[in-house]
Chain A
Amino acid sequence: MILGKVISRVVSSAKLRALAERQLLLVKPEPGFLDGQPVIAIDTVQAGPGDLVLVMQEGTGARQCVNPDNPSAPLPAQMVIVGVVDSVSLVDCRVRE
């Protein structure tokens, strides 16, 4: 998983049916994660712009989080927001800027 900050909501009216009615958020990874390039993630925890969030980036886990009743439903996505972070404390940890 990675840490990132929610920048904004992503509005898309023409999208695949498997993504219909899913809240999509643009997340900017914190320094040291994914080169800082923004990613689009499915929200499962009602996060909003400005929140520091925990983003899982694995397709099987994404299906299980987004469709817990039917985890075998195909989902063309990897990134899912699975938590809003309250605090992070780093001790003697070097992050890549």
Chain B
Amino acid sequence: MQLGIVKGSVVASQKIATLCGMALKVVEPCDDSRKSTGDAIVMIDHIGARNGDLVMWVGKREASLAIPGAPLANNYPVDAAITGIVDDIG
């Protein structure tokens, strides 16, 4: 997992059926001093992170396992997901 800061949210009323009901957030990857380390990524959010929150996120196939109740073998078209809100590092 990596660190990131929530920069905003995405609303898409017309999307693939399997993504219905999922919140989408724009997250900018960052390091432990909150300095940006790369381009922003749109990811699913089942935690309820708000703008400005420091979050941890996972990419690639494991992102689809961040959907509560998703089985190991699933077809969710997801490549990045927020896995938790970071309270403190240190």
Interface residues of A (CB under 8 A from B): 7-19, 24, 26, 37-41, 59, 62, 72-79
Contacts and interface: CB of A to CB of B under 8 A. Distances in A.
B32 A79 contact: no
Interface residues of B, number: 32
Interface of B: 1-3, 29, 31-32, 37, 46-48, 56, 58-63, 65-66, 68, 70-72, 81, 83-90
Contacts of B68: 16-17
B81 A11 contact: no
A38 B85 contact: no
Given A16-B47, A76-B81, A11 B87 contact: yes
Contact of B46 (A16, A24, A37, A74): A16
B85 A12 contact: yes
Contacts, number: 92
23 contacts: A7-B32, A8-B32, A10-B89, A11-B86, A14-B48, A15-B83, A16-B68, A16-B83, A19-B83, A24-B1, A24-B56, A26-B89, A37-B29, A38-B31, A40-B1, A59-B61, A74-B70, A74-B71, A76-B58, A76-B65, A76-B66, A76-B81, A77-B1
Contacts of B61: 59
A24 to B, nearest CB: 7
Contacts of A62: 62
A19 B66 CA distance: 10
A9 B56 CA distance: 13
A12 B31 contact: no
Residue from B1, B29, B61 having most chain A Cβ neighbours under 10 A: B1
A74 B65 contact: yes
